[in-house]
Amino acid sequence: MATKDIDFSSKGYLNMQLLRFTTAGSVDDGKSTLIGRLLYDSKSLFEDQLDAVKRASVQKGSEHLNLALFTDGLRAEREQGITIDVAYRYFATPNRKFIIADTPGHIQYTRNMVTGASTANAAIILIDARNGVIEQTYRHAYIAYLLGIPHIVVCINKMDLLDYSQEVFEKIKADFNAFVAKVLPGEDLRFIPISALKGDNVVKPSQKMEWYNNSTLLETLETIPIDQDHDMIHQRFPVQYVIRPESDKYHDYRGYAGRIAGGIFHPGDDVMVLPAGIKTKIRQIDTFNGPLDEAFPPMSVTLLLDDDIDISRGNMIAGAGDLPKAASEFDSMICWMNPKPMQFNGKYALKNNSRDVRCVIDKIDFVLNINTLEQIAGRTSLAMNEIGRIHLRTTKPLFFDPYTVNRQTGSIILIDEATNETVAAGMIL
């Protein structure tokens, strides 16, 4: 691997950070070429992969190495020349390891974009410089905002076809800004003029666009600060599993295993256990490697408490003075993901953190025209790939924060109880 620039044997590699990003673009924006370029120029491809793509390029009659072929996945996709699902790719530089959620851009695949966006720290939105900001750009930008992706990088691609014109770049930037200012201001937003095909400003700075004296895409991805991407303020610990060893040595051990979803926990902290509403203190934060002085997202740990309380999976341990919302009725934005449309007043299984409940959708406030963001009232259902705002009632209360505060505690999925399929993703308001 290209890993020549990385000193794997040193402590450097052991200190790298992880950045997850998603890519959104329309069919011909050159998304696959961009990812191929990132992998190729960062020397993350192996010889056998390169050879396979070289062979295929020649076979298909390409003039140059067809970078898009690197991201070709399943046979069905190769035959149809499209991407049918989220594919995950990996590469590393001396500073960071990257996970790319590569999602297709055509309209019927909103659900895949939502899926890829759900775990991303950053989103790359691709715009074809020849077309500028089009309806699909709005859709991609809106999904990135809706899913709470903290950092957005707009890549204006195919600059080589427009003489690397600064004017074109500035115009598209202004159009995009006008759109987002209207919807959701205050995001970390960056613009980069690139040519994925020629390699300008992807990994190497462009010689053709000296007017742009800012970071390349890769430099940007390497330096985006991600330490504030989790909620570090409100202490949230969804109990995932109870550990009770059946051994004499640990006879009285009762540990609550889970992954910290928010805030920083210390031994001695006052916490409250929900739904019991009982206050206690953290006695110890336990791990295989010994107890910890503090724990923060997204660490998987085991909490031991001062008092013997009946706690099980689906409970929440939260800062005693700073509780999450507890409610069995709430509003949520929702993306429908199943070919079978939403049933109004239908009952679904619902998962939130480690909690399993049932719910009924008793109100649809509006369905969004995702290209214009117009709110359409009076609808009684949502079809696949539609996004809307609904009201839900649950059989038991959930413990959550608004999605905009905490992406873990504020997210839900709905499951069709007849087919067991995941049919919707929700962001609690």
Binding piece for other proteins, criterion CB under 8 A, among 85-93, 203-211, 324-332, 359-367: 85-93
Rounded CA-CA distance 163/159 in Å is 7
Count of residues in the chain: 429
Q: If binding is defined by CB under 8 A, does position 320 make contact with other proteins?
A: no
Each residue 15-34 as x (binds other proteins by CB under 8 A) or -, in order, gives xxxx----------------
Q: Which residues pair with 348 in a beta bridge?
A: 359
Which pair of structure tokens corresponds to residue 340? 């079978």
Q: Are 330 and 410 in contact (CB under 8 A)?
A: no
Beta strands (DSSP E) in 196-269 are 236-238, 241-243, 255-259
Span near other proteins by CB under 8 A; candidates 162-170, 172-180, 235-243, 387-395: 235-243
Q: CB of residue 114 vs other proteins: minimum separation in angstroms?
A: 7
Looking at residue 181, the DSSP 8-state letter turns out to be: H
Q: Which letter does DSSP use for residue 36 in this model? A: H
**Which residue number, 97 or 347, has a Cβ lying nearer to other proteins?**
97
Q: Assign 179 to helix, strand or coil.
A: helix
| Closer CB to other proteins, 49 or 165, in the complex | 49
Strands, E, within 30-121: which ranges?
Answer: 87-92, 96-102
99 contributes a contact to other proteins by CB under 8 A: yes
Using rule CB under 8 A, residue 143 touches other proteins? no
Q: Encode burial over 371-397: b for 16+ CB neighbours within 10 A, e otherwise.
A: eeeeeeeeeeebebbbbbbbebebeeb
Q: Contact with other proteins (CB under 8 A): which of 186, 249, 251, 345?
A: 249
Q: Taking contact as CB under 8 A, which single stretch among the options 154-162, 198-206, 258-266, 277-285 is the one that binds other proteins?
A: 258-266
Contact residue for other proteins among 288, 310, 345, 378 (CB under 8 A): 288
240: contact with other proteins by CB under 8 A: yes
List the one residue from 107, 166, 279, 296 that touches other proteins (CB under 8 A): 296
Q: What is the per-residue binding string for other proteins in 191-230, x denoting contact by CB under 8 A?
A: -----------------------------------xx---
Kindly state the smallest distance separating residue 262's Cβ from other proteins, in Å.
Answer: 12
Q: How far is the CB of 130 from other proteins (least distance, A)?
A: 30
Residue 342: exposure state from Cβ atoms within 10 A (0-12, 13-18, ≥19): buried
Cα 119-31-50 angle, rounded to 5 deg? 100
87 interacts with other proteins by CB under 8 A: yes
CA dist., res. 61 & res. 164, Å (int): 27
* C-alpha–C-alpha distance, residues 399 and 408, integer Å: 11
Q: Does 12 bind other proteins (CB under 8 A)?
A: no
In the bound state with other proteins, the residue whose beta carbon lies nearer, of 204 and 244, is 244
Contacts (CB under 8 A) with other proteins, residues 341-360: 349, 351-354
Alpha-carbon distance values, 293 to 15, 187, 257, 286, 338 (Å)? 20, 33, 17, 10, 45
- By CB under 8 A, tell whether 404 contacts other proteins: no
Structure tokens at 21: 């990003």
Is 362 among the residues that bind other proteins (CB under 8 A)? no
Nearer to other proteins, 195 or 408 (CB): 408
Rank residues 114 and 364 by Cβ distance to other proteins and give the closer one.
114
